[in-house]
Amino acid sequence: MPATFHDLRNKHVLITGGAGGIGAAVSAAFAAQGSRVSILDHDAAAGAKLLGRLNAGDAEVSFHAIDLTDFDSLVPLLHSIEKENGPVDVLINNAAKDPRYDITQMSWAEWEELFKLNVGHYFITCRELIPGMKKNGGGSIIMVTSCNFWIGSGELTCYTATKAAIVGMVRSLAREVGKDMIRVNAIAPGWVMTERQLRERITPEQMKKLQQEDQILPVRLLPEDMAGTFLFLASDQSRVITRQTLAVDAGYAMT
Ligand SMILES: NC(=O)c1ccc[n+]([C@@H]2O[C@H](COP(=O)([O-])OP(=O)(O)OC[C@H]3O[C@@H](n4cnc5c(N)ncnc54)[C@H](O)[C@@H]3O)[C@@H](O)[C@H]2O)c1
């Protein structure tokens, strides 16, 4: 039975990449709390499917199809969402990609493109939405980084650099906006078995090693396992927690 955070009812939660993977589980968890959820994602089919499922009760969830690297479209979209739904109380920057590259074969365009999604849109959403949060008396910003920040897997040098950038961004931004009662924290998921990870990445041998050797806890991490930490960091229950990076990883990063 998931916990209820009464203060999250009617809160405006904006999440990027909220139509698939971890983001979809987080969107569903906030909808179940009675929050007003604005989902930004480029997968319109997944968004429509999720919307059908979440809006079945009295949830208020809206979906906005957008490529988050198209900043010329992102900025006006953020303002139109604010105009329609009011200032954002909880901003969740989640969308990112994790392509593998041999660093000696990676082009500058590929490096720049990954930074544009994994870091760039985190900056743009903060820049555009923090003024509304300030006027509204505060809020909570949650940025998704990765346990790979500590582990540093090969072929993920660029991805790891983007995730390290997020940890740095959180540490500095928390100080910058704390006086305005805006809290800024990061969540670092472990290896989470999303549909995409199961389809494209993990082999049965890797799964076995992960659970029996790499993680402290011998469990399979699911997208739903991430949701409670997002709810907690969004709610007043964590009102004095800021500038932290929480690993939600069954002990993977520390091995
Ligand atoms: N799954 C894991 O094992 C894992 C581990 C550590 C960190 N993370 C982090 O968690 C976050 C979510 O990852 P996930 O595994 O759920 O990913 P995912 O690929 O399953 O889902 C990502 C979502 O973002 C959307 N998206 C991707 N690029 C986009 C773009 N340009 N514009 C708009 N939407 C876009 C996708 O459509 C999808 O709905 C990421 O920040 C990722 O780095 C995931």
Closest residue by Cα to residue 80 from 30, 116, 132: 132
Evaluate whether residue 253 is within a structural domain. no
Average pLDDT over residues 73-81: 98
Evaluate whether residue 18 is within a structural domain. yes
Residue with tokens 């593998």: 100
Most confident of 23-27, 56-60, 197-201: 23-27
Read off φ and ψ for residue 247, nearest 5 degrees: -85, 125
Give catalytic status of residue 101 as yes or no. no
Evaluate whether residue 174 is within a structural domain. yes
Please indicate whether residue 191, judged by its CB atom, sits closer than 6 Å to ligand 1.
Answer: yes
Tens-place pLDDT, residues 221-249? 999 999 999 999 999 999 999 999 999 99
Whole-angstrom Cα Rg for the chain:
18
Angle (CA) 244 101 188, round 5°: 15
Q: Does residue 58 or residue 94 have the better pLDDT?
A: 94
Residue with tokens 């544009």: 116
Evaluate whether residue 139 is within a structural domain. yes
Q: Structurally, how many domains does the chain consist of?
A: 1
Average pLDDT, the chain: 96
Please indicate whether residue 139, judged by its CB atom, sits closer than 6 Å to ligand 1.
Answer: no
The residue whose C-alpha atom lies closest to atom 14 belonging to ligand 1 is 21
Evaluate whether residue 56 is within a structural domain. yes
Please indicate whether residue 95, judged by its CB atom, sits closer than 6 Å to ligand 1.
Answer: yes
Mutate to test the pocket of ligand 1, among 26, 69, 98 (most ligand atoms within 8 A of CB): 98
Evaluate whether residue 102 is within a structural domain. yes
Strand partners, 60: 36
Number of Cβ atoms within 10 Å of the Cβ of 112: 11
- Please give the single-letter amino acid code of residue 114: L
Instruction: Supply the CATH number for residue 139's domain.
Output: 3.40.50.720
To the question of pTM greater than 0.95 for the whole model, the response is: yes
- Containing domain of residue 208, as a range? 6-248
pLDDT of residue 34: 95
Burial of 54 (0-12, 13-18, 19+ CB in 10 A): buried
Which DSSP string corresponds to 61-127? EEEEE--TT-HHHHHHHHHHHHHHH-S-SEEEE---------GGG--HHHHHHHHIIIIIHHHHHHH
Evaluate whether residue 1 is within a structural domain. no
Evaluate whether residue 118 is within a structural domain. yes
Tens-place pLDDT, residues 113-138? 999 999 999 999 999 999 999 999 99
- Please give the single-letter amino acid code of residue 127: R
Ligand 1 atom with minimal separation from the 201 CA: 3
pLDDT of residue 255: 45
Q: Which residues of 209-225 are buried (b: 16+ CB within 10 A; e: fewer)?
A: ebbeebbeeeeebebeb
Residue with tokens 């229950």: 237
Q: How many residues does the chain have?
A: 255
Please indicate whether residue 20, judged by its CB atom, sits closer than 6 Å to ligand 1.
Answer: yes
pLDDT of residue 59: 78
Tens-place pLDDT, residues 170-228? 999 999 999 999 999 999 999 999 999 999 999 999 999 999 999 999 999 999 999 99
In angstroms, the Cα distances linking 17 to 26, 91, 170, 204 are 10, 12, 19, 27
pLDDT of residue 55: 82
